[in-house]
A and B are shown apart, each in its own frame.
Chain A
Amino acid sequence: MSPPSILPTCNCFHCGLPAGAGSNYRALLDGIHRDFCCLGCQAVCTAIFEAGLQGYYQRTPEGVLLAPPPDPPQDIDSYDLDEVQQEYITRSGELRDIHLLVEGIHCPACVWLIERVLQREPGVRLANVNLAAKRIHLRWDNNLNRLSNLIRALARIGYSAVPYDQENAEGVIKKSNRSMLFRLFFAGFTMMNLIWISIALYSGADKGEFRDFFHWMGFVLATPTLLYSGYPFYRGAIGGLRVGRLTMDLPIAIGLSVTYAYSTYITVSAHNTGAVYFDTVTNLIFVILVGRYLEGMFRHQALSSNKRLLELQPRVATVIRNGEEQVTPTRTIKPGDHVLIKPGHKVPVDGIVLEGFSAVDESMLSGESAPVDKAAGAKVTSGTVNTNGALLVEVSSTLQNTTLAKIIRLVEEAQASKAPIQQLTDTIVPWFVLATLVCATLTFLIWYHNGVDIALMAATAVLIITCPCALGLATPMSVAVASGLGARHGILIRNGLVLETLSRVSHFVFDKTGTLTEGKLSVAVVHVVPGNDMQEIVRYAAAVERYSEHGAARAIIAAAEARQLNFRGVTVQGFNATAGLGVQAEANGRSVLLGSLEWLSRNGIKADPELLARALELEAQAMSCVHCALGYAHVAVFAMADRLRGDAQQLVNELRTAGIGMTLLSGDRKVVAEAIAGQLGGMEVLAEVLPQDKDLAIQRLQQRGAVVAMVGDGVNDAPALIRADVGIALGSGTDVSVESADIVLMHNELAKVRLATLLSRRTLRTIKQNIGLSFVYNAIMVPLAMMAKVDPLVAAITMPISSLVVIGNAARIRNLFNNEKS
């Protein structure tokens, strides 16, 4: 064998990212040394070669860059428990079916690789990758293999797979949208056929030998359309009548029935006078279904946020029974049990710490970015994340009684009690319906003495011509165009109806951490004792802190990186961290201590009085301080603060100029919240607010008559986001807040709030114009119809035109942002 050649390129063999000269990650594969950018790529590529599936790299299309593999999913073993599986699998017994959602699929070669690998696993009967939806349909024999093994096999080749509950995720709404789409297709199909028949009739066929034939063809096409595609209108009209409301469906249903009955009568009686309106029936159904379908697409999907919240609770926990560790499903844990929570795991229950010391990330509940230290006697809450030490916890409450469950209940309550948004069209429709019915009755009575035939035809014409098409399309069309435009500018509108509300908002409520601020600590000030080199201190501090996982450590490393200091070159020995106090190590032979003042004094270091004074000053400004000692002398103070987002100031200024009220709502300490409000030029501050009180604070504002928009990003904001008239979430926020919000800002740009407001104003104006247009149309056509001057041809031409005008006017919203480049 020839000596292995070294490839001249320095790009990662797996993902193509630069691997860096002399990279640390290299493997001998097929007799060639390959360079990698990271351990993940190296492991994945080695696994692929070992499986003999290197054909994967030939199959990858040119130009497609693979990404480094995603992190494998956590607690894979829990998916083997039957209690956990039953939520996802569709067929119980020996053979089980499951859908897995997979991260990391990017090209057809991945499909090939995944299917090959899974088919080699014992017990796998079917493995089918859906490239478009990034899902795997898997069928396996549970006696021969475990699900966790299969998920691990996928993780080895660089794909992160988690079970996916198809029923819940896609659910009822998608199903009803699909059945609506079928009805729409069918109406479209018959409408197109009927148009040809109508053209034949209008151009003279209604007088010859084919008259009856064309009438019967119309009848054959219109009847199933009315029964199948028109069914939702009848259901809606009758449903509305039962609860005593005049809905838009009622005039549509009456109009359809009368038109259809009249046309059928003409067809059956085979007179030589009179005309059929079958084309009008199908036209009407088609156009209104288009409006309904658009509306269905942007309806708020409120159900899923509760499920996402529940998923924050881990499914399994390690219970200590008779001195042994047992992995148990969370639902079988009882109060009084002892649970072990390892570092990096989520807390499965509410409880009290018995043993251990650790920092727990409670940002989910409090919004507070820094982890909270927990020692024996402290309370821990389900759903929070244990960061660096193991904790033994006595369970105080589980599942439905945990703090997390209380938030879930709050979300449910807020959803149930929130008044549905009164759509502009909804307030007009009942009157419109009533007016139409009165006009039609009047017309019938006026023309009655001229014969039932003419009277019936005139009354029918009134019902048809007071075309609700334009009115039915006015709102959905405008909102659909606005949603599309918003999406292109990073504003995702989840609930289209709030576009009407947003323009009326009189009060903005902001969450602090993660919304106005970036939500992570950064070094704001470094204060050094004169005579010391600041760069050198930052370099040594970062060199030591890169072994720590504390939030402050990451901030110091980021600061060193920003100063472009080569801290990775420093050799660090004897690293030792004491949770809650600080860290200690030797860097290039010099002793480095970083931590609280107490940490320094415990190690026999005397505090520098000048630094002490500075630290007190900085702490008064709500910054937290990390003290640094180099060579057993107190030399520096790092002040940490949560930085404001770049565009927060601009947004607050603009809102203030517009005279809109603002409140800062925070779970954080009052000093911190007020410091932030001060930086933004001052606003009302509600600090130390519990999640349940955030919801109440919004309610109080609403009771004072304010229309409230809430901007937030955390789980603790979810009830408030739902309670507010308009909930706006940041795209980087938790899934739960995104699910609870009406509008999501994709790129975390607060400035987009202003853009969304502009969009909303414009949409509302277009909706009003559209309603106006359809009224003008009716004002002209209804008198003509009442005078029995409208023949079927005029009706057939003017109706589509009125709809087109409304659609065209809605399309003009797209020009909104053309003048100002955002």
Chain B
Amino acid sequence: MSVIYTLIPGMTFLGLVFFVIMIWAVKQGQYEDMEGNANRILQDDDEDMMS
């Protein structure tokens, strides 16, 4: 059972890392425009489509 001495702090630390990443992402504006960027990647600039 002594494995929990490393497991629990490890998992808590991992959770904390995710939390920090989330705050960083929100502050970066990653959640500002969910729709626009989702669609932008699908719209390639094929010349034949623009003819």
Contact = CB atoms under 8 A, between A and B. Distances in A.
A54 B50 contact: yes
A171 B39 CA distance: 29
Contacts of B5: 213
Interface in B1-46: 1, 4-5, 8-9, 12, 15-16, 19, 22-23, 26, 32-36, 39-40, 42-43
A129 interface: yes
Nearest to A111: B36
B33 A132 contact: yes
Contacts of A217: 8-9, 12
B36 A129 contact: yes
A129 B22 CA distance: 23
Interface string A187-203: 00100010001000000
A111 B19 contact: no
Nearest to B8: A217
Interface residues of A, number: 27
Interface in A126-142: 129-133
A55 B12 contact: no
A201 to B, nearest CB: 13
Contacts of A131: 33, 35-36, 39
Contact of A108 (B16, B22, B43): B43
B33 A193 contact: no
A48 to B, nearest CB: 11
Interface in A92-126: 108-109, 111-112
A217 to B, nearest CB: 6
Contacts of B12: 193, 217, 220-221
A132 B34 contact: yes
A108 B42 CA distance: 10
Nearest to A109: B43
B32 A108 contact: no
A132 B36 contact: yes
A55 B49 contact: yes
Given A54-B50, A193-B12, A213-B5, A108 B36 contact: yes
B38 to A, nearest CB: 8
A431 interface: no
B15 A189 contact: yes
A609 interface: no
Contact of B35 (A52, A132, A213): A132
Q: Which of A131, A189, A221 is packed against the most chain B CB atoms within 10 Å?
A: A131
B19 A189 contact: yes
A178 B23 CA distance: 10
A186 B36 CA distance: 29
B19 A108 contact: no
Contacts of A817: none
Given A108-B39, A185-B19, A132 B9 contact: no
Interface in A229-248: none
A136 B15 CA distance: 35
A575 interface: no
A59 B43 contact: yes
A52 B35 CA distance: 25
Given A55-B50, A185-B19, A186-B19, A130 B33 contact: yes
B40 to A, nearest CB: 6
A213 B5 CA distance: 8
Interface residues of B, number: 23
Contacts of B34: 132
Given A131-B35, A132-B33, A213-B5, A112 B40 contact: yes
A448 interface: no
Q: Which of B1, B5, B36, B49 is packed against the most chain A CB atoms within 10 Å?
A: B36
A760 B4 CA distance: 53
A792 to B, nearest CB: 20
A265 interface: no
A35 B42 CA distance: 30
Contact of B39 (A55, A111, A130, A197): A111
Given A54-B50, A55-B49, A217-B12, A130 B23 contact: no
Interface in A52-102: 52-55, 58-59
A247 B46 CA distance: 64
A108 B40 contact: yes
A193 B40 CA distance: 38
Contacts of A213: 4-5, 8
Contacts of A59: 43
A213 B2 CA distance: 11
A130 B8 contact: no
Nearest to B9: A217
Interface string A201-232: 00000000010010001001100000000000
A213 B1 CA distance: 12
Nearest to A105: B36
A727 B50 CA distance: 53
B36 A130 contact: yes
A108 B23 CA distance: 27
A130 B32 contact: yes
Contacts of A193: 12, 15
Contacts of B32: 130, 132-133
A59 B49 CA distance: 10
Contacts of A129: 36
A221 B42 CA distance: 43
A58 B19 contact: no
Interface in A319-357: none
A130 B40 CA distance: 11
Contacts of B8: 197, 213, 217
A283 to B, nearest CB: 17
Contacts of A178: 26
A58 B42 CA distance: 13
Contacts of B1: 210
Contacts of A54: 50
B19 to A, nearest CB: 5
A229 to B, nearest CB: 12
A210 B4 CA distance: 9
B15 A111 contact: no
B22 A185 contact: yes
A129 B35 CA distance: 11
B14 to A, nearest CB: 11
17 contacts: A55-B49, A55-B50, A108-B42, A111-B40, A130-B32, A131-B33, A131-B35, A131-B36, A132-B32, A132-B36, A178-B26, A182-B26, A193-B12, A210-B1, A213-B4, A213-B5, A217-B8
Interface of B: 1, 4-5, 8-9, 12, 15-16, 19, 22-23, 26, 32-36, 39-40, 42-43, 49-50
Given A130-B32, A130-B36, A217-B8, 11 more contacts: A52-B50, A111-B39, A129-B36, A130-B33, A133-B32, A178-B26, A185-B22, A185-B23, A189-B16, A197-B8, A221-B12
